[in-house]
Structure 1
Amino acid sequence: MIKNYLKTGWRNIIKNKGTFAVNITGLALGIASCIMIMLYVSDELSYDRFNEKADEIVRVVFRANVNGEEMKEAVVMAPVAQTLKNDLPEVIDATRLAKSFNNRLEYNGSYYGQSSLAYVDPNFFNVFTLPIIQGEQKTSLDKPNSVVISESLAKSIFGNTDPVGKTITVTNRDEQLNVSGVMKDMPKNSHFHFDLLVSTLGYEQAQKTTWMESDFFTYLVLKKGTAINTVETKLPAITKKCMGPQMMGAIGKSYEDFQKDNSLGLFLQPLTDIHLHSDFSDSTTLEQGGDIKYVYIFSAVALFMLIIACINFMNLATASASKRSKEVGIRKVLGSNKKQLIYQFLAEAFISTLLATFLAIALFSIALPFFNQLAGKEIEFSSLLKPVYVLSLLGLIILITFLAGSYPAFYLSSFNPLNALKSKFSGSGKNSGIRSGLVIFQFVISAGLILATLVVREQMNYIQNKDIGYEKNQLLVVRNTYLLKNNEDNFLDKIENDPRIANMTHSAFVPAGESDNEVGGIFLNGEFQRRMFFYNIDENYIPTMGMELLQGRNFSEEFGDESDKVIINEKAAEILGLGKNALGKTFQRDTNEGLRDITIIGVIKDFNFRSLHQEIEPLILKKNPYGGVIIRSKTADMSGIIKNLNEDWNNYYPKEALNYSVLDDSFNHTYLKERKMGTILTLFTILTIIVACLGLFGLVTFTAEQRFKEIGIRKVLGSSVSQIVTLLSKDFLKLVGISFLIAFPLSYYLMNKWLQDFAYRIEIQWWLFLLAAIITMGIAFLTIGIKSFKAASMNPIKSLKTE
């Protein structure tokens, strides 16, 4: 019986090739999108779940609000791990990680450039599941200066030689590390990646007892079944006990007095939440994570695409009812019951869905490399062959079969045989109303996505063109000139004498991309105010960056030693309550030698030195050049300058390549996640529109066929082609227009929520709605018009010759 259903279903499909082509194309695009998004979402949700104790591990984080400064830090104080392990019975184990920067390796006279290195506690491998393939896991980090290296680094440095027992030198710190083990490369879906893990037993920072400095990423292993909220309720008392005695000496206030006007505390974050649910400052994160909002957005888009494809199937099947009414009537007269007819039509839906799935898999395999590049993923086609995905795909086929085929099956099988044989079905009435509703739903999604895409595009354009307080174009950043040591001045002189160079400054502080970071406590009249950012610069920094000095003067060698002089930004002047009278005022900075007086000699216009997701922070510029250089070119084509820099660099320091970047590229990279989101959203918007238009094209085709004779009569009576096109188009375009009333308010709400993530953002203007409406209506009219024009242009004799 099943074989007969499938055979008959296939014959009907072959008989209606046009309808089948529209259905299978729409379904294939919907299913391919679902597969792509399913693997993307699965990858995003899989972060850190490879750890055997993933559900029991939490990260300790620090949050505070101090005199208006909101602090969100993923690092905490060195003693926190051991203190919480000792004081909380719910904590089984605790371990720490401290990231190290600018690590350069040397072994046996060969140099290996920068490598990612972290200091970790000896019990690190007891907490995280990172398999050791050479050496002993339990004892690999139990000695000072012992290091476990990644498998790829071991092959790069030692080849096929056993690395255990060998010594690597970290040249920038002249630190000798003894290789005690080799671990497998850290999984891609980890929130941190390092090639070297060094024991904290030889790390001075790890021995500190202060609760006033945060340097360590700290992880706890909780007993199974422990509620995080239960543990968090105990943290304020521990914070007060440990931090209270130190606070008076650090800021001159007791813990109780401090908490009256401010708030601070430790909190716990589940390990599996780190990748998608983090909002911590960039300087205290290990790597840029994902965003749960984008997971929701792309999941919704894929789901809607699939629903639209199913709607197309339903619309076309019910619209073609009049063509199959006689078939249904004959089957019923010959003894077929409703149940058998339902099975028959579901069999047709199953065949269409199955073939669409095969086509979708082919489309997925073709599009996967492009999608990986776009989303920054490494999803492999073989992932689809995992049992969980195979079962999901089979479930999807069954779901689509019933979702897309059930309504047409029940509708067609319900025909009265007498009426069916007389073909008394016009596709109007109740079923026409349902089809209209489904068309509206399709274009609610399409118009909404078009508006969302326009909003993302406008926000990205706004970011690109916003006055950020400095001129980011034609700036080249060279980050590692300090490696030249005694030759650094000679290298800088050659740059300065290049006629293509407009200006140059010596500083490691860059307002976009990779940069040094310095934060210090600020006191006014001996009373702690808040922390502020510091930039170490020279007298050429402000002119090179194209910044505006609003008051006072720049640093100058004419004034001799200016180590106690600073330039502040407008925000710092505002927070310190100095307004426009900042020049000559003095405040104090917390240093290792105690409070130090510093005098303001200038006020600079605010500039965005952090992401536009955040408000401009108070900033203090002090004269202390070091690190690298920032070069302003006279030409936008910097390839020649870079070529000369590389040649000069190799003459001085052939051990390592010149580390440079174009500042404009670094700025754009800051918003890479949003740009990728915008590109992917645009892609899926286009696909959604294509699927919706396929359905609309099919419906117009059937409408034209149903009104075939009417069109012929109207043409004989003098109707023009444009009048007939209008006749066939107006009802569908009305439905598209109605969809705007639902799509635009909903999209406005959702995109306004997305824009809240930016401290500096656009307002959603009325013309965006108008443009979205024009685009949607234009696409719909083009789709309808092509078929309508073809129908209206036909010779009326063909439609009337049977009369």
Structure 2
Amino acid sequence: MRSVQPPKYPLRFLRWFCREDYLDEIEGDLIELFEKRVEKSPKMARRRFVWDVVKSFRLRNIRSFRSQNSNNTVMLKNYLKVAWRNMLRQKMYSAVKVGGFAVGIGACVLISLFIRDELSYDLQYPDNDRIYRVIGEYYETGIPDRQSFLQPPLAKALKEDFPEVEEAGRFLSSNLFGAGSSEVRPAGRAQNTYEKGFIFADPEFFQILGLPLIYGDPASVLTEPNTLLISKSKAEKYFPGENPLGKAIILNNNTGNPYKIDGVFEDFPKNSHLRYDFIRTLRGMEFGKGEQYFWGSNNYHTYIKIRAGSDASKLEGKLSDITDKYILPALKAGGQPNAEEIAGRIGFKLQPVADIHLRSEGIKDRLSHGDIRFVWIFGAVAAFILLLAAINFINLSTAKSANRAKEVGLRKTLGSQSSNLISQFLTESLLFSFFSFMIGVLLATVLLPYFNELSGKALTMPWADWQFIPLLLAAAVVVGLLAGIYPAFYLSAFKPAAVLKGSVSRGTRSSRLRGGLVIFQFATSIILIAGTFIIYRQMEFILNQKIGFDKEQVLLIQGSNSLGDNAATFKNELLRLPDVKSATVSDYLPVSGTKRNSNGFYEEGKTSEGEAVYGQIWRVDPDYVRTMGMKMAEGRDFFDQMPSESQSVIINQTMAKQFGFEEPLGERITNGGGTWNVVGVLEDFHYESMKEEIQPLCLVLGNSPQTIAVKVTSSDMASTTKAVTALWDEFVPQQPIRYSFLDESYARMYDDLQRTGSVFTTFAILAVLVACLGLFGLSAFVVEQRGKEISIRKVLGAGLGSIFRLVSIDFLQLVVVAFIIATPISWYFMERWLEDYIYRIDITWDVFALAGLLSVAIALITISSESVKAAFINPVKKLRSE
């Protein structure tokens, strides 16, 4: 029967703290007592032994640690000295280890700054944990249509009906009502300046956000009609060195209705989902008779601040009362026969303000957002790149183990313990890690401006943040320990007798592990390469897809409302220019960010039957369809100069389908404000991102005078724009022309996609670079390890090709295995990513074949330098050294 031993950890503790001259006596007494107690009860004996050790922990029994600390310092210096000498002795391998680590760390620092910025959005508002945006939901097919555009009276109802709501406020950003952009000039000046960033807002909205004011009274701003707030940067632009409170600003040349500056606020930070420079009051505003009390329109963003201690989820559960109390009666009052059914599909949710930037997928709000999935993806990419670098360290450390075997054997023979050897090898790993972190952070600092261009950010290295340096040091220690722990235990486990007899194999003991790690490296690289190809194919598909209109060579002139009554004359003069084919005046353009107007439409005479078809109504002139290069599927375009055309409408194919028109021409539709006769059907065209389905749309004749679109036939665009500019200066000499191109505006709809592709490509290249560094190091090791075999083969007549195959065949097999593993993984994740797009490419096999071939080519190029070097080495020198 096996004898019962004292608990080992208490015994180790005793041996660690007890004075050497007391240890034998105290340990002997405790063990003797333990053996006597074991005869009665082993469990009781163990417990009593632990207690005896604790009682022995007395001041007179504790050893002096001064000499030990001194020895530790000496040993640490020795470890560092040995590590430094090993780095210098093996310069190439050290460079591969440090270089790979540095690239991985540099990538991690850049991605960490990106993620830090993305996660910091909207945390700067006071009480941000109590601020929520209200989201409207409409259930029709099981998946709700979600948007932040809500009814004008909603904020007031929330404040009055729910005691949990401390404050509720709205803002209006639709350029349909004059928000978005305006021509601006201080009163008394002649020249206008075009400015973006206008919204209308309640005073309560400003108070909810708690924006700091430089000038003005937070309790009274925006409470008077015709007042506005301006940002600090705009105040400095228009009133440098002045206090602008009370000064007047003229918008869109409306001198009869100036706005008084009521306050100056600090600019919205870059990490805010709201970035506006001009906040006009909603007090005294009414965009249509009775509009502020109408539950049938959806144009306002509504924010609330709940009281401290209130439960947002419980409040959210009560929001259905809004539908029952206000929306259902409004539907019935409007004559909607199935009002109960429609009201039952309407709901409201609360979205924390801190979630708006990253967690607004599927919510229509016309704001620029990030995506939490990309945060996780880039975080995973950073982790994988750093892991690839750590794999290089592990592979090369274990591969070169035979070179350290004699050192380990001799030190163990001379009395060194495994713990001392582990400490030494971990010290070497930490030294590599600290060098790599210094180079990696320097690399990140140098590349940060280029990364900002790729990502569209304005990131900076947070040197002023006191946590930054300690975090880097801690990360260097953690990474160094994690990367070095396996090689340390592997190397310290060598048996002295086997080493000194020469029976330790040269680097093959962990070949399977090294092979597995190489497979992981190249599988990760292939996934990133294939993902990059798919992102770029989707981007090319979107930018070159048939979109239903001609975006090429269309010049957009903004601010044409400055022409006043001369707009028609200016258009006619444009048409006289030799390179101008046609021109149209309309703010409704088939690119995001331009004017939109959504309405509910019915067949004439059926407003009390069935449901409305919700779609866009765009006010255009008779030349719109021709200038935009749109195609008629049925019927005709608008006629010019015919009074009856004011009752004509052109609908798109989607609207005709949703109405169920088999013969749409001649049908009559109404939205309650007007009735039109369908004279034509447009082929569907994309007027929003391809992430969204084409929605119903109709064109009617109307006045929308801020933008002139000019179709140009000349290939010399510079001369055409020069002629257009000269014409503009004749009509509006006090106002500089502003123009852009429709194809550029269309491409800007996909800036996020293009930035994602660029960032993804950059880090894919870095991952491949790190993997190649490791493969280069391993191929050099293989050449060194098999030097004798290669020399013998050369003596026997082996040529360059034979030696190249000998060195490369094992690595190529690993790359092929990596390709087989990576292909289904890459397909799965990219298929999930493409699901966001209604209009998308299909993933085809050639993407993965190309990624695999590229990986093989990269591997061959990486290996080739060492293979060629081996082929040309003098075999006599190698065999002599053996």
Task: Say whether the fold is shared (TM-score over 0.5).
Answer: yes
1:210 aligns with 2:294: yes
Q: Deviations over 1:276-319 (max 9, x none)?
A: 1113566x33x311111211111111110000000100000000
Q: CA deviation at 1:712?
A: 0.4
Letter in 2 for 1:621: L
> Is 2:88 aligned against 1:6?
no
Q: CA deviation at 1:423?
A: 4.1
Residues 444 and 226 from structure 1, CA distance in 2 versus in 1: closer, same or farther, beyond 3 angstroms? farther
Deviations 1:501-558 (A, max 9, x none): 1222222221124421111211122234221112222332222222221211111137
Runs of 4+, deviation exceeding 6 Å? 67-70
Deviation at 1:244, TM superposition (A): 1.0
Residue from 263, 266, 275 that aligns with 1:184:
266
How big is each residue's C-alpha offset from its partner over 1:156-179, in whole Å with a ceiling of 9 and x where there is no partner?
Answer: 111112212222232455432222
Name 1:267's counterpart in structure 2: 349
CA contact (8 A) 1:536 1:624 kept: yes
Indicate whether 1:572 and 2:635 are aligned: no
Moved more, 446-455 or 787-796: 787-796
String of CA shifts for 1:697-730, please: whole Å, max 9, x gaps. 1011111111010100111112221111111111
Identity %: 37
Segment of structure 1 superposing worse, 242-251 or 344-353: 242-251
Structure 1 segment 136-215 matched on structure 2, within 5 A: 136-173=217-254, 174-204=256-286, 208-215=292-299
Give the structure 1 partner of residue 633 of structure 2.
550
Alpha-carbon distance between aligned partners in 2 of 1:38 and 1:199, rounded to the nearest angstrom:
40
Does the Cα contact within 8 Å between 2:102 and 2:437 map onto a contact in 1? yes
Residue aligning to 1:304: 384
- Paired with 2:217 and 2:718, the residues of 1 have a C-alpha distance of 49
Instruction: Specify the alignment match of 1:518 in structure 2.
Output: 597
1:316 lines up with 2:430 in the alignment: no
SS at match of 1:55: helix
Equivalent position to 1:348, from 428, 441, 446: 428
Instruction: Tell me, in whole angstroms, the C-alpha distance in 1 between the residues paired with 2:825 and 2:840.
Output: 19
2-structure distance, mates of 1:123, 1:545 = 42
Offset from partner CA, 1:66-101 (integer Å, 9 cap, x none): 589964321211221221122223222222222223
Q: What SS does the corresponding residue of 1:424 show, helix, strand or coil?
A: coil
Per-residue CA deviations over 1:98-142 (Å, capped at 9, x if unaligned) read 222332322232233324222222233432131112222222333
CA distance in 2, matches of 1:552, 1:67: 32
Contact 1:72 1:279 in 2 (8 A): no
Moved more, 141-150 or 357-366: 141-150
| Equivalence for 2:131 | 57
Shift of 1:207: 7.5
TM alignment of 1:741-760, pairs within 5 A: 741-760=820-839
Within the alignment, does 1:424 sit opposite 2:503 as a pair? yes
User: What does residue range 519-534 of structure 1 map to in structure 2 within 5 Å?
Assistant: 519-524=598-603, 525-526=606-607, 527=609, 528-534=611-617
Equivalent position of 2:669 in the other structure: 587
Q: Among 613, 618, 632, which residue is 2:711 paired with?
A: 632
Alignment RMSD, CA only?
A: 2.0
Q: How many aligned positions are there?
A: 793
Tell me the SS of whatever aligns to 1:562: helix
State whether structure 2 residue 308 is matched by structure 1 residue 230.
no
1: CA distance, partners of 2:510 / 2:361: 49
- Give the match for residue 160 of structure 2: 86
Scaled by the length of structure 1, what TM-score is found?
A: 0.95
**8 Å CA contact 1:37, 1:298 repeated in 2:** yes
For 1:23 and 1:499, locate their aligned partners in 2 and report how far apart those are by CA, in whole Å.
Answer: 65
Q: Cα gap change, 1:470/1:144 in structure 2, threshold over 3 Å: closer, same or farther?
A: closer
**1:147 shift after superposition:** 2.6
Report if the CA contact (8 A) 1:244-1:254 is conserved. no
Is the 2:223–2:283 Cα contact (8 Å) retained in structure 1? yes
How far apart in 2 are the matches of 1:506 and 1:167? 30
CA distance in 2, matches of 1:422, 1:702: 23
Q: 1:617 is matched with which residue: 689, 695, 708?
A: 695
Structure 1 residues 653 and 281: CA distance shift in structure 2, 3 A: farther
Pair 552,453 (structure 1): closer, same or farther in 2 beyond 3 Å: same
Residues 243 and 255 in structure 1, CA contact (< 8 A), matched pair in contact too: no
2:457 corresponds to which residue? 377
1:435-584 superposed matches below 5 A: 435-524=514-603, 525-526=606-607, 527=609, 528-557=611-640, 559-579=642-662, 581-584=663-666
The answer (yes or no) to whether the contact 1:106–1:170 under 8 Å persists in 2 is: yes
> In structure 2, the residue corresponding to 1:458 is in which secondary structure?
helix
1:97-112 equivalences in 2 (<5 Å): 97-99=171-173, 100-110=179-189, 111-112=192-193
Given that 1:167 and 1:179 are in contact with CA atoms closer than 8 Å, whether structure 2 keeps it comes out as: yes
Residue of 112, 117, 128 corresponding to 2:209: 128
Contact 2:138/2:346 (<8 A) preserved: yes
> Which AA in structure 1 matches 2:422?
I
In the TM superposition, residue 563 of structure 1 has moved relative to its aligned partner by 1.4
Flag structure 1 segments of 5+ consecutive residues without an equivalent. Answer: none
Aligned to 1:334: 414
Deviation of the 1:379 alpha carbon: 0.8
| Structure 1 equivalent of residue 330 of structure 2 | 246
Find the aligned partners of 1:767 and 1:468 in 2 and give their Cα distance: 26
What is the distance in 1 between the residues matched to 2:417 and 2:120? 49
Structure 2 portions without partners, runs of 5+: 1-74, 174-178
Kindly provide the CA deviation profile for residues 606-664 of structure 1, in whole angstroms up to 9, marking residues without a partner as x: 11111111111111121225322211111343122212222222232234332321111
